[in-house]
């Protein structure tokens, strides 16, 4: 019997050639499968020039190509789909709650400084969100590309991608923050900030601009960690950041004990320290535990950046569409009175809690589908996509049923004014019914990114808001004021969800034809 000759491709991928003569000992493929199962790998067999006699193989030459993928320790390629998605989603929920608490803690302590301090920080939201969109876009691009590479078994290439992606994110955000520092006061004056607020805004943003690069690495790094299937660690890192911020906020804002009283600037410094803690945690996991970070390679860096930006740029623009659509709805409601605007603002805070499970599921779905597409298993990817869509409908349907009896006490909790409570109550009785359909489009967008079709993902983000939701909301407002606008929002979500589901069915059918 001839020997084994190995050719090493990317990561764990190995190709073995077995040369046999007709007179050699009978070889079956059972031992081959035994080896594969021992190492928990996925195998593909390509047999050439086989002669079969009585179910035995007498090959003159067999070329056996084995895909020795990275060990599937998180089960994305082999474990039951529902169990895997549940295991990935639950920790992400806690991580997102930590982010919400981070913002709430900041808002609470700053509000104790007075109305002007709170107004100053409120003016910073458009700028901070725009810069964070850059990092979120890079994170989605990283998660998708790394997930596919890991599914293909290319662990070394995935580590290289992580390094290049983090460097790209730091460079882009560093450039944006430098530009922000140079144009600090003119920018916020253009946004409508009163002259008396500009000194407070400068105090806060001068520190924020310097500290924000510290947040880039944990945000993008957590996306890389999630791409491996590990969602518990990113959640722990986010909770660590929230804990540090919660401890330092009162100490630095009000100057308790040995700490100086820094006011609004203290909130920004506390955020910077919390981001540094998250950075240390993320780098430790990427370098020492997951081995998912490699030094940059100049010969690959431009091509890798192009791949990341191909997905990341549309993803960043998609994230920016949501506040834009929210601003347009606010403009519609402003014509209906201040009470309508106040009620909608409260409704948005409630909505962020009601759909947090769906948002967490989309974060889990992208790496799951990306890895399985990388492993040439599109059927498993689409099963996960449609399972997620059905879950969105069922879960949000249950949430809506809970909202019916809770709508009145929730409305009373968020406002003391009768008129605002009435509008908010109507919103909570109408719009949450459509969240499941909104979730269908959210899952579709994640799936399109995982399939490396970012433009289609952006198209569906745009269509959900500007083709379905906003036009129906405007028509509803013209027919029946605020109540009509809310009904229009719900109808837009429902029609968008049905359309998205039909589109997903068509994409799956096309994929089945290609892989038959």
Q: Tokens 């370098």 belong to which residue?
A: 287
Q: Residue 119's pLDDT is what?
A: 82
DSSP helix/strand/coil, 5 = strand
Token duo for residue 365 = 């779905």
Comparing 70 with 50, the larger pLDDT belongs to: 70
Pairing of strands 14-19, 52-53: unpaired
DSSP annotation of 469 reads I
Of the chain, the percentage scoring pLDDT greater than 70 comes to 86
Contact (CB, 8 A) for 322 and 465? yes
pLDDT at 433 over 70: yes
Token duo for residue 456 = 């289609």
**Residue-wise pLDDT tens digits, 288-317:** 888 888 888 888 899 999 999 999 999 999
pLDDT at 499 over 90: yes
Pairing of strands 14-19, 4-8: antiparallel
Rounded distance, CA 225 to CA 233, Å?
8
- pLDDT level of residue 344 (50, 70, 90 thresholds): confident
């Amino acid at each position: 019997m001839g020997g084994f000759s190995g050719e090493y491709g990317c990561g764990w991928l190995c190709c073995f050639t077995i040369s046999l003569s007709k007179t050699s000992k009978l070889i079956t493929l059972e031992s081959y499968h035994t080896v594969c199962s021992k190492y928990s790998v996925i195998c593909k067999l390509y047999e050439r020039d086989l002669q079969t006699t009585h179910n035995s193989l007498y090959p003159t030459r067999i070329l056996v190509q084995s895909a020795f993928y990275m060990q599937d320790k998180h089960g994305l390629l082999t474990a039951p789909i529902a169990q895997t998605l549940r295991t990935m989603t639950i920790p992400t929920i806690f991580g997102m709650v930590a982010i919400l608490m981070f913002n709430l803690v900041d808002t609470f302590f700053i509000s104790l400084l007075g109305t002007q301090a709170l107004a100053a920080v409120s003016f910073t939201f458009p700028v901070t969100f725009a810069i964070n969109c850059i990092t979120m876009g890079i994170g989605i691009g990283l998660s998708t590309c790394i997930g596919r590479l890991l599914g293909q078994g290319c662990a070394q290439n995935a580590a290289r991608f992580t390094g290049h992606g983090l460097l790209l994110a730091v460079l882009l955000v560093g450039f944006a923050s430098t530009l922000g520092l140079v144009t600090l006061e003119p920018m916020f004056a253009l946004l409508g900030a009163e002259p008396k607020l500009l000194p407070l805004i400068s105090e806060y943003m001068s520190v924020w601009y310097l500290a924000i690069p510290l947040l880039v690495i944990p945000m993008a790094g957590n996306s890389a960690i999630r791409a491996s299937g590990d969602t518990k660690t990113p959640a722990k890192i986010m909770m660590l950041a929230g804990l540090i911020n919660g401890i330092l906020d009162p100490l630095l804002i009000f100057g308790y004990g040995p700490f100086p009283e820094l006011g609004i600037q203290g909130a920004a410094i506390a955020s910077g320290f919390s981001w540094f803690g998250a950075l240390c945690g993320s780098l430790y996991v990427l370098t020492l535990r997951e081995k998912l970070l490699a030094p940059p390679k100049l010969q690959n860096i431009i091509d890798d950046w192009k791949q990341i930006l191909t997905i990341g740029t549309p993803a960043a623009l998609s994230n920016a569409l949501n506040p834009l659509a929210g601003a347009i709805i606010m403009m519609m409601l402003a014509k209906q009175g201040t009470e309508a605007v106040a009620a909608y603002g409260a409704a948005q805070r409630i909505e962020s809690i009601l759909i947090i499970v769906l948002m967490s599921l989309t974060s889990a779905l992208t790496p799951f589908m990306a890895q399985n597409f990388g492993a040439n298993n599109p059927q498993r990817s689409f099963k996960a996509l449609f399972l997620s869509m059905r879950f969105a409908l069922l879960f949000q349907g249950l949430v809506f049923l809970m909202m019916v009896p809770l709508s009145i006490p929730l409305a009373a909790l968020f406002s003391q004014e009768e008129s605002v409570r009435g509008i908010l109550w109507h919103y909570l009785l109408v719009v949450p019914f459509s969240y499941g359909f909104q979730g269908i489009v959210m899952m579709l967008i994640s799936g399109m990114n995982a399939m490396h079709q970012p433009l289609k993902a952006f198209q569906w983000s745009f269509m959900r808001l500007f083709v379905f939701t906003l036009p129906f909301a405007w028509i509803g407002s013209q027919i029946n004021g605020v109540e009509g606008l809310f009904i229009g929002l719900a109808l837009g979500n429902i029609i968008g969800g049905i359309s998205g589901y039909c589109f997903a069915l068509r994409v799956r059918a096309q994929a089945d034809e290609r892989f038959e």
